[in-house]
Structure 1
Amino acid sequence: HIPKYEDLKLLFSEYLGDEYSKEDYEKQFSIRLGKLLEKFKRIEKIYSMEKDIPEKFMYELEKQKRAIAEARDKMGDVVSPSGFE
């Protein structure tokens, strides 16, 4: 779940008496697909060295890794939270 900018802006204003910029929102909630893909590759490497890992687990991990790579190819390395609205 990614919070909406308008909701966070209101919360900052009402409860913290502070401003919350769109720039901060974009920076904090953008999804870095390249970094996520690197993380999945590390996870895959670690689990591939273990015994008795269910084949289904490795299949799902590979499936998610492919989906992330496809999303990166379509949307670029960094996906803004506004891309999900």
Structure 2
Amino acid sequence: MTDLIFYDTLRQGMWVAVEISTPILAVALAAGLTVGLFQALTSVQEMTLTFVPKLLAIVGVFWATMGFMTQSLVSYFDGTVVPLIVGS
């Protein structure tokens, strides 16, 4: 395996990781901003108020995008990693 193949495979893997994590991170950011704005407007400083809505939003998005995440990982491994391991 040459350095070029190694770095290209690493780059593709990093891109797949970015694609997979983007929906969860975007929803966590939106939920955090919404709860933070709500806390600032109402002066409610409850710690569980920041944790529970974010956790529920993240779990919901994870459940909704689980098929996409699995499909992305399987296609990356079937198309890139497994052929390199087999040697074709």
TM-score (norm 1): 0.32
Between Structure 1 and Structure 2, whose CA radius of gyration is higher?
2
Hey, which of these two has a bigger chunk of strand by percent?
Answer: 1
Hey, which of these two has a bigger chunk of helix by percent?
Answer: 2
